[in-house]
A and B are shown apart, each in its own frame.
Chain A
Amino acid sequence: MTGSIPIVPLGESAWTMVLGDAVDRETHRQVTELAMRIQAARIPGIIELVPAYATLTVFFEGEGEAIRRSLAALADAGSLRGASAAAATGSLHTIPVAYSGPDLDDVALATGLSIAEVIRRHSGREYTVYLLGFAPGFAYLGDLDPALVLPRRPAPRTRVPAGSVAIAGSQTGVYPLTTPGGWHLIGSTTTRMFDPAREPAALLRAGDRVRFEPIR
């Protein structure tokens, strides 16, 4: 096993680089590190990079083989593993939250914690943005305090208001737009996670860090 990272086609206009097959912080750190290296290399033809939990997908225009060769040259798993863990370049965002969501009581009941304890455990840590998807500006944040881990709601809501702060599995997030959703709603924020008129439109990027701050 030479430690090279598989590079597989996603259609004719993207390459997916596969760093792992599970959700864990170390693999994601390597994804973030790899994305930085590719950005720095300024390979012609690349439109954008889409990091996810354990993969990095490179969307491009034109001839893909030359790009693939350039990516392969950067895809040294050994050096990614060895790269400094202190390379946390993502911005830190603090999001004020009014902890009074419609599912807060149910979450307290299901976890056996008091509401105050749910709030303390949710707001008391720094999360990493793993990826954005599902809707523009929807950031998957991890990892939740294990005591708060719950499966998704059995029946999703058809309408979750924009700004809802939610949890499911070992993730947390904020709904940027009013959409259907199956996560547990524990609070809300007035922070605009996505604004098409703003630059950047999405507040968070993969690799950023987030803290939630309870407000009265």
Chain B
Amino acid sequence: MITLGKAPPFATVQDRGWRSGRAMGLPRCGAMDPLLLAQANALVGNPPGTAGIEWALGAGEIVVEEPCEMTILGAQRVEVNDRPADPEHPVLRLDAGSHVVILPRQDSRFLYVAVRGGIDVPLVMGSRSTYLPGGFGGFEGRRLRNGDRLPVGQAHHAPLGGTVHPRHGSGPAAGTGADVVLRILAGPQWNRFDDAAHRDFLGGRYVVTTESDRMGYRLSGPVVRPNTAATLPSEAACPGAIQIPDGGQPIVLMVDGPTVGGYPKIGVILAADLPTLAQLPPGRTVRFREISDAG
């Protein structure tokens, strides 16, 4: 068992989410930065897709009831029993009763806590991810609170040990504040936008606004409008889809976002680049680069 001695404002249990379920309106969910969670799992010897804690928006503390191995990736600083942990050796070997204080970074949103054996909450439809809008999955279908006790599962493999240098979330542009370039494929409604709109969209700098959460990130920048105001019958969408609603300001769907929608989708961010966007705090800027084969 591990206890959230002090929970941050936003922490949930997540794994890779629901592989299928879109046909019944269930989004993928799972980690917003699945690459970072996967690295954390690998470090503690967990199989890919093991559930961990996705942690955001503030500092907190975990108390460990039994000895365990834990790694925390994406934090600014970790302290074990009041001593700073060595970032060069990210696998923490913790005795029973250890206190782990976690301080997040300012330049990236999500850090991940992986425990050897995984967070052993019940499977719901085959996943341990949390679907917050519906209140199911993960730990009681909700954000973690002070005092929550999380069961830890059985470990199967030996940890890799502490010599791996993990990627810390945001990628190379994180520290500089420069525009982050996100690669996109033309979306299903790309042709509903004329050449001028394409130029404005691809030439524009978009700011990640504070209206950004696990369902979607609202961006602010050059207005883009489709040729026709004709509504589109709702059709399937996906995480990374860039919707253009009535105001002409893009919304990028994220992992908890609705599975269908009627707004035109001008593009879809590549799966490899979506975690980079997910980690950008409000105020950071992005540009889009279209890489469809048609050029």
Docked-complex contact B260 and A131, CB < 8 angstroms:
yes
CA distance A65 to B88 in the complex (A): 42
Q: Any chain A CB within 8 A of the CB of B134?
A: yes
Interface residues of A in 72-126 (CB under 8 A from B): none
Docked-complex contact A52 and B136, CB < 8 angstroms:
no
Partner of B24, one of A21, A54, A57, A205: A205
For chain B, the count of residues having a C-beta within 8 Å of the partner chain is 40
Look across to chain B and name the residue whose beta carbon is closest to the beta carbon of A139.
Answer: B25
For chain A, the count of residues having a C-beta within 8 Å of the partner chain is 43
Look across to chain B and name the residue whose beta carbon is closest to the beta carbon of A27.
Answer: B233
CA distance A197 to B234 in the complex (A): 28
User: Contacts of B238 on A, CB cut-off 8 Å?
Assistant: 10-11, 13-14, 59
Docked-complex contact A11 and B240, CB < 8 angstroms:
yes
Look across to chain A and name the residue whose beta carbon is closest to the beta carbon of B189.
Answer: A8
Interface residues of A in 56-78 (CB under 8 A from B): 57, 59
CA distance A138 to B27 in the complex (A): 12
Q: Any chain A CB within 8 A of the CB of B178?
A: no
Docked-complex contact B188 and A12, CB < 8 angstroms:
no
Docked-complex contact A13 and B25, CB < 8 angstroms:
no
Docked-complex contact B236 and A135, CB < 8 angstroms:
no
Partner of A140, one of B22, B234, B258: B234
Residues of A within 8 A of B (CB): 8-14, 16, 18, 21-23, 47-55, 57, 59, 131-138, 140, 177-179, 194, 196-197, 200-202, 205-206
* A10-B241, A49-B23 given; 10 more Cβ-contact pairs under 8 Å: A21-B230, A52-B235, A55-B235, A57-B235, A133-B260, A133-B261, A134-B260, A194-B24, A194-B134, A205-B24
